[in-house]
Every structure is written in C-alpha cells, then in structure tokens.
Amino acid sequence: MAFRRFLRGTVPWEQLEGVVQAVIQRYDEPAAHVTFLEADNWLSTPLVVNDQWFVKVITGQNSLVHTLLTAGRNIGAFSSGTEGFFEHFGTPYEMAEHELAATQRMREIGVNAPEPIEAFEYDGMGVLVLEYIPDFEPLDDLPAETVEQHSPTVFEFLHRMHEDGLAHGDFRCENVLVAHDDLYFIDATSVREAAISDARAYDLACALGALEPLVGAPTAVSAAARHYDTSELLAAEEFLDFVNIRPDHDFAAAEIRGAVEKRA
C-alpha cells in the first residue's frame, strides 16, 4: 500500500488551492466550492469546482506513472505478437492537452463525452477542465439488465471512434459514465496512428473483457457483433490474454473465445 501511495502521489494542499483559485478566476466566479471525487486514479487528482467544472490536476509524479504504464502495456503488446502502440507525452501539460483534444474529437463524431473547456499549466502541473456531469454512475455500478441495455451503445461509440481513426486505449467500465440514461466516454489515452489497427483490436478486447463479468460472454459478443464483423472479433481475440493480465480487468477469456468462435 505504501508503494501504491508513492506511485499515485499527492498534490500539496497549497498547490490544489492555487489550481482552484486559478479556475475560478478564469471563469469569473466569486468563490469556490470544491468536491474531491473518490477515484482510484493513478494519473491525476480529480475534483469538481462549483458543481460546474470537472478538473484533473496532473503532476510530474502522474506523468512518471504514465511512462511506466505505457512501457508495461507496450511490452504486453509485444508479447501478443504486435508492435507496441501506446504513446506517452513528455509533460503533465501535454497529457492534459491530449485528453482535451481527444474529448473534443469524440464529441465531433457523435460520441457522448463531457464538454471540453480548456487545458492550462499551473506551477509545472497540467490542469484539464471539462464539463461536470452530475448524477452519474459508472457502467459497472448498474444492474446487469441495465448494462445489457447499454452494451450495444458501448460498441457503437467504440466503432465510431475506430471508423474515424481513433482508439480509446484504456477502455474500462469506470470510463463509461451513465447519466440520465445517456452514456459518456471519458479518459481516452493515446495510441500511435501507425498502429491503429492493433489498437482497435485491443479496444474491442478490453470492451468484451469489461462487459463479460457483467452480462456474460454471449451477450457481450452479440452486442459487439452489431458493429464489428467476424474478422474484427477474431482479431480482438488475440489480445484477450494480454488484457486479462491487467490488474483492472478480470474476466473469463475462454468464454469470450467460445462465443466469438461459435459466431464465426
């Protein structure tokens, strides 16, 4: 636990106060009400200001952890027989800029995402400001029948991204928010454009793996098949073992393979 706390790091209170002050000054707010979100996030400190702005504070420590995660994921990609496709950005501000741009691009192609406001640098940290979506629940906190109803939309949004040359790169159910029966994608990471085909297959494997424990393999594969053909499902199958060794994924890979191969 001490090592996990070291990796995650903490932002000194005076720096957080400075970030919040900078936010309210930028938007002409006379005062700030701050809510810290309960999140097991290694790559930022998330908070909400005045119930209007979702703010991510990205430190040098977060950037270091991103470097380590990126290297580990690329090693895993090599083990799956493909070239590593994850990218790292050199500074906390560059990380914030990328997520801002990725969020904007998702919205442009019809994928629900929080409205991107801006990214700026404060005291060597990257600060990302997005629209705050109130009353949301992560997809994996919902009843199984509700998750099943939303599953086709999950794959529809992924497919829109893939058709536009984008990949999410870090698909987990906690990165899919549900508010007032609408789905929102958050926390897209960066992948190399030259390896977009492998990144798409990895995304699809992540989505199947995330949904399998919630709705079962046949339902997850059936929802995916509304938007992906058999060859794409088989390509995703190659990444299932790689995805399953991640500590934030735990699913029955054999069940997914069986459902894919039955369909094939």
Report the pLDDT value the prediction gives residue 18, as an integer from 0 to 100.
Answer: 95
Instruction: Report the predicted TM-score, pTM, of the whole model to 2 decimal places.
Output: 0.85
pLDDT of residue 86: 62
> From the centroid of its chain, how far is CA 164?
17
CA distance 207 to 219: 12
Q: Is 177 exposed, middle or buried (0-12, 13-18, 19+ CB in 10 A)?
A: buried
What end-to-end distance do the CA atoms of the chain give, in Å? Answer: 44
Ordered by start, the domain boundaries in the chain are 1-131, 137-262
- Reading the chain (264 residues) residue by residue, the pLDDT tens digits are 443 444 445 788 899 999 999 999 999 999 999 998 776 566 788 999 999 999 999 888 776 765 656 555 556 555 556 665 566 667 889 889 988 998 999 999 999 999 999 999 999 999 999 999 998 999 999 999 999 999 999 999 999 999 888 888 788 898 999 999 999 999 876 555 656 778 889 899 999 999 999 999 999 999 999 999 999 999 999 889 888 887 778 999 999 999 999 988
DSSP 48-78: EETTTEEEEEE-HHHHHHHHHHHHHHHHHHH
Instruction: Kindly state the tokens that stand for 51.
Output: 């119930």
Domain 1-131 is of which CATH architecture? Answer: 2-Layer Sandwich (3.30)
| pLDDT at 7 (0 to 100) | 44
CA distance 152 to 225: 9
